[in-house]
Amino acid sequence: MVSCLWGRRRSNKSALSDPVDPNSKIVIVGAGIVGSAIAFQLTRRHRNVTVVEAKRPGSGATLASYAWINSRDKEPREYHDLNRRSLDMWPRFAKDLNADIGLRWGGEMRWTVTDKGAKSLLDQAEVLRSWGYPVVQVTKDQARAMEPGVVMEPFTSAVYCGIEGHVDTQRVVRTCLNHAQQAGADVISNDSVTSINTEPGAEAKSAATSVTLASGRELACDVLVLAAGYETTGLAAMAGIEFSQQTSPGATVVTEPLSPIFRNIVCMHMPRDLPEPLMNVRQFPDGSVMIHGGTHNGSIGDTSDDDAEKLMAQIAGFIPTLHGANVKEVRRGMRPMPEDGVPVIGFSESVPNLYLAVMHSGVTLAALTGEFATTEILDSSRIDILQPYRVERFSR
Ligand SMILES: Cc1cc2nc3c(=O)[nH]c(=O)nc-3n(C[C@H](O)[C@H](O)[C@H](O)COP(=O)(O)OP(=O)(O)OC[C@H]3O[C@@H](n4cnc5c(N)ncnc54)[C@H](O)[C@@H]3O)c2cc1C
């Protein structure tokens, strides 16, 4: 039987009293941006980490992501604050990664085409400002002067938020894992966890003792971190932990490199008071443009590339530089989205050595999650602003 320091030590003590043994084995399932950020932070503290990834690191939702770092449309207020805090932590995260991860700041602009849309946009901006989030109204002339390459017609209002940015998620994942490996972590790719093995602990709890991989390997663990995105629900169920997720497919289209489309901002949302699909646009440092098309409940069509071409034609009506641009890639992924729309982060009460990290806005939240998960795992702290995100909220 595999020894599980965590489960045994905790049997007669409060969950908060015992820091993890420095030699304990930590297995992270999933090498998207969330699992990779956690691996990076844990190995900065010299822990024994193994990352298991079913496919290629960064190839899940993290690849498809629009990767806009923001705290817009995040309610309730405490969830807005969580995202804002992570947004503010990104510069330090990037500095610690010490590599070009394609992080670009410069803000986001959006405008409206109807009076109703304008009222809704400006009301929302007012609320965000009252929360200390700097969304400002810009006039038609200001908006056009800022971004002459965008056809903003008709126009009823516009807002700009200068503190937002975007990042190249593939570079973030690569850099996190490179650092982790240099610090001794083992990264296993193209091999998936097929079972989580547990043993009974005290007080009707259990402990995760090992995971079995599709290849047949068994990895012992003292702490198990599930950061497998949409697949986390199925994995958690193997350890008797129940929570459900929304079904939220998403897609982004990436073009060949083009000349710069924006002069000041780095992200733009096309009018949300137009019929769907919603369209969001950003440009990578190499000039290729990513168009995010869809809603939180769906994405551009299903799986046909015709849909991507249709999206390109629609977006070119607003950004003429995109007219005739070749689509290089269509990226599709399932958003990790717990049923109530907010993250699941933290240790499970029923399996006290199993840590969950599942979230939408995982790009925005990666900076905070990597750091806070590490504090909770290694220091036996419970961070109060993470309290609303414990998995037990689904079973109570
Ligand atoms: C279209 C789209 C647009 C988005 N836009 C934004 C945005 O603008 N801003 C923002 O902040 N967020 C955005 N998101 C959300 C964000 O991308 C995700 O929250 C984030 O990428 C989740 O990262 P993750 O590491 O948790 O999951 P994933 O990237 O999905 O990684 C999970 C990994 O676990 C692996 N895995 C699964 N099962 C197993 C197993 N059994 N064994 C081993 N490995 C396994 C998978 O292969 C995968 O690589 C968007 C998402 C989508 C899809």
In a shared domain, residues 181 and 325: no
Q: How many angstroms does the Cα of residue 59 sit away from the middle of ligand 1?
A: 8
Note the pLDDT of residue 20.
Answer: 74
Q: What tokens were used for 109? A: 């602009």
Q: Does the pLDDT of residue 297 top 70, yes or no? A: no
The model's confidence at residue 5, banded by pLDDT at 50, 70 and 90, is very low
Q: Is residue 80 part of a domain?
A: no
Q: How many angstroms does the Cα of residue 364 sit away from the middle of ligand 1?
A: 12
Please give all residues whose beta carbon lies within 6 A of any atom in ligand 1, as ranges.
29-35, 52-55, 59-62, 64-68, 192-193, 227-229, 231, 235, 250-252, 292, 333, 335-336, 359-364
In a shared domain, residues 384 and 312: no
In a shared domain, residues 254 and 330: yes
Backbone φ and ψ of 311, nearest 5°: -60, -40
3-state DSSP helix/strand/coil % of the chain, to nearest 5 = 35, 25, 40
Q: Does the pLDDT of residue 11 top 80, yes or no? A: no
Ligand 1: nearest atom to the Cα of 57: 49
Q: Return the bridge partners of 213, or none.
A: 193
Average pLDDT over residues 132-139: 98
Selected residue with higher pLDDT from 213 and 23: 213
Residue 312 belongs to what domain range? 108-161+249-334
In a shared domain, residues 253 and 157: yes
Number of domains in the chain: 2
Q: Is residue 102 part of a domain?
A: no
In a shared domain, residues 343 and 330: no
pTM check: above 0.75: yes
Decide: 25 and 48 in contact? Cβ < 8 Å. Answer: yes
Q: What is the pLDDT of residues 249-272, one digit of tens each?
A: 888 999 999 999 999 999 999 999
Q: How many angstroms does the Cα of residue 377 sit away from the middle of ligand 1?
A: 21
Q: What is the C-alpha separation between 342 and 356, in angstroms, rounded?
A: 13
In a shared domain, residues 321 and 346: no
Q: Is residue 223 part of a domain?
A: yes
Note the pLDDT of residue 6.
Answer: 41
The model's confidence at residue 340, banded by pLDDT at 50, 70 and 90, is very high
Q: Which residue matches tokens 């049923």?
A: 339
Q: Does the pLDDT of residue 146 top 80, yes or no? A: yes
In a shared domain, residues 330 and 253: yes
Instruction: Say which CATH number the domain at 200 has.
Output: 3.50.50.60
In a shared domain, residues 140 and 280: yes
In a shared domain, residues 378 and 263: no
Nearest-CA residue for atom 1 of ligand 1: 250
Ligand 1: nearest atom to the Cα of 235: 41
Q: Does the pLDDT of residue 90 top 90, yes or no? A: yes
* Displacement of CA 227 from its chain's centroid (Å): 11
In terms of DSSP bridges, do strands 186-188 and 48-52 run parallel, antiparallel, or are they unpaired? Answer: parallel
Q: Return the bridge partners of 287, or none.
A: none
- Smallest CA-to-CA distance from 160 within 186, 137, 126, 190 is with 137
Average pLDDT over residues 59-77: 97
Mean pLDDT (the chain) is 92
Q: How many angstroms does the Cα of residue 229 sit away from the middle of ligand 1?
A: 5
Q: Which residue matches tokens 């986390």?
A: 232
Q: How many angstroms does the Cα of residue 93 sit away from the middle of ligand 1?
A: 19
Q: How many angstroms does the Cα of residue 203 sit away from the middle of ligand 1?
A: 34
Ligand 1: nearest atom to the Cα of 35: 25
Q: What is the C-alpha separation between 59 and 262, in angstroms, rounded?
A: 28
The model's confidence at residue 337, banded by pLDDT at 50, 70 and 90, is very high
Q: Does the pLDDT of residue 35 top 70, yes or no? A: yes
Decide: 224 and 308 in contact? Cβ < 8 Å. Answer: no
